[in-house]
Chains A and B, each alone.
Chain A
Amino acid sequence: MSHLHIPDGVLPLPWIIAGLAATAVILLLCVFSVKRQDRARTVPRIAILSAVMMLAMSLPIPVLHYHVNLTVLVGMMAGPAEGFIAGFITNLILALTAHGGITVIGLNALITGLEITLGWLLWKALRDRGGRPLVKSGFITLVVLAVSTTAMLGIVAGTRVNPTLAMHDHHVHSSDMDAHLESVKPFATIAYTAGAVGWAIEAIVTGSVVQFISESRPDLVGMSVAGEPKSDGDRPKTDSEEG
């Protein structure tokens, strides 16, 4: 229940435009923030991360028919800027395969970006504290997905209340609003119940991935390698630093 999965033709035009505009601005900010890095290193890293996300999203887990997203893992590995670009690319390719609407790419990218950023922030806060990476990253995944599902429901609830009417039509009655919100309840019930199962699956898988990586290549998730100084996983090196 990470990306919206809402198809084309469902959301009102102002929301679609707002989503695309916000995504365009954030994407430009992200591109600007990675501008000073060595591009020959940044581009393959973003490409590979988006390929990994695409791979995870394209392979349903047998029996459960649920696919993981690995957005939290991408946040832990790449940080918000590179992660947002990778998430945007993944959403773009998925939309072309009818996996989420083409016009909803903006909103999808915002939700994915929220997961990536929250994953990065929480991992940064908990990374060096005690406890197994499996538990820490699993917990982070649960929290992040709960927040992103709520954000998604917020968008769905918001779009049911026609923004034009809400802002300009003073004759909109509170009972109309209540009816709109009432109609969102069944969707919210399904999203939270089915979503909770999905969060648990994603948490176990992400936790296992992070545990495995932390034992083999801890530098990839910004953890220190035994006997070596801790790598600065949060900030990719600039050209001059690498030179």
Chain B
Amino acid sequence: MDIQFIDELAANGRTPLHDALPGAKIAASALLLAAAIAASSPGAAGFVAAAVLLAAYATRQPLEYTVRMALYPLVFAALFAIGSVLSDPMYALTVVAKAFTAGLVAATLITTTSFVDVFSIIARIFPSVVADALFMGYRAFFILIDELQGLITAVRLRGGVSGTLREQLSTYGKMLGVLVIHSADMTERMYQVMQVRGYSKLIPSTRRHQPFGAQDLVLLAYSALILLGVFLYR
């Protein structure tokens, strides 16, 4: 999981799916996710996966990366299905196919919509403490990962990654320790900045509400049709 790369794909991609409104993409993803969950056979789950892949291909998405992302939940689905392989192989196959399809939906959404856009919509249902921490946490992640990468390079250059596995894990732990201490300092800086700027228990969003355009409606209709298809032929 490379959040930096995902963010890069979502922020800098120029495809019709990138241009669709975040609200439409989230709603379409919810419909496709519902279709994946409602599928009760490998064929039905495969149908939804094919529909998502078709939409991604038609809109020139980097399929290789989204498919690779979707393969991650497959491993855990396989673990879950392993107990049913002999007694009910179709159930096991359905579990794996559904997991892949759901992963594909999530991967397509997040590689075409920036996290911030997704947050600005889903954060509306959360209390403001959670919503604000969600935005700030995401921003802090990028600051900390830069710092950690610099730290890893410095430790490597000084031969700090040699030794037994136990020693390497210990070194890794100490690096995280440095990061935790830096993050505590960062918390203090953020607090001071928020005090100076007059934090009033809410970070306002500057995103304006826009009505759905033609491509948003097409996307929603396409997803709704897939869901209908699954309900009819599952």
A residues contacting B by CB (< 8 A) are 5-10, 27-28, 31, 34-35, 39-52, 54-59, 61, 68, 70, 73, 77, 85-86, 88-90, 92-103, 156, 160, 179, 182-187, 190-191, 201, 204-213, 216-217, 220
Contact = CB atoms under 8 A, between A and B. Distances in A.
A8 B99 contact: yes
Contact of A99 (B1, B102, B174): B1
B195 A40 contact: yes
Contact of A40 (B37, B69, B199): B199
Interface in B103-123: 103-104, 106-107, 109-110, 115, 118, 122
Given A97-B107, A217-B181, A217-B184, 4 more contacts: A8-B102, A43-B132, A51-B137, A93-B115
Nearest to B147: A55
A204 B36 CA distance: 39
B144 A98 contact: no
A59 B175 CA distance: 13
A51 B174 contact: no
B134 A10 contact: no
A46 B129 contact: yes
Interface in B154-202: 166, 169-174, 176-181, 183-184, 186-187, 190-191, 194-195, 199, 201
A85 B137 CA distance: 11
Interface residues of B, number: 76
A96 B106 contact: yes
Interface in B178-231: 178-181, 183-184, 186-187, 190-191, 194-195, 199, 201
B129 A31 contact: yes
Contacts of B183: 48-49, 51-52
Given A89-B134, A209-B173, A39 B201 contact: yes
B179 A55 contact: yes
A85 B130 contact: yes
A208 B155 CA distance: 16
B130 A190 contact: no
B79 to A, nearest CB: 6
A109 to B, nearest CB: 11
Q: Which 9 A-B pairs have the closest CB atoms?
A: A208-B173, A212-B177, A9-B98, A8-B102, A47-B136, A7-B99, A7-B73, A183-B83, A44-B190
15 contacts: A6-B76, A8-B103, A9-B95, A39-B129, A43-B194, A48-B137, A51-B144, A55-B141, A61-B172, A86-B133, A98-B70, A183-B87, A184-B83, A208-B173, A208-B176
Contacts of B57: none
Contacts of A39: 129, 199, 201
Given A184-B83, A208-B169, A216 B181 contact: yes
A42 to B, nearest CB: 7
Given A9-B37, A34-B129, A70 B84 contact: no
A236 to B, nearest CB: 12
B82 interface: yes
Nearest to A182: B83
Contact of A97 (B95, B104, B106, B171): B106
Nearest to B181: A217
B99 A9 contact: yes
A51 B141 contact: yes
A205 B33 contact: no
A213 B178 CA distance: 8
A13 to B, nearest CB: 8
A182 to B, nearest CB: 8
B115 to A, nearest CB: 7
A11 to B, nearest CB: 9
Nearest to B39: A9
B58 interface: no
A34 B199 CA distance: 16
Given A48-B186, A85-B130, A216-B181, A40 B137 contact: no
Contact of A95 (B37, B104, B106, B190): B106
Contacts of A206: 173
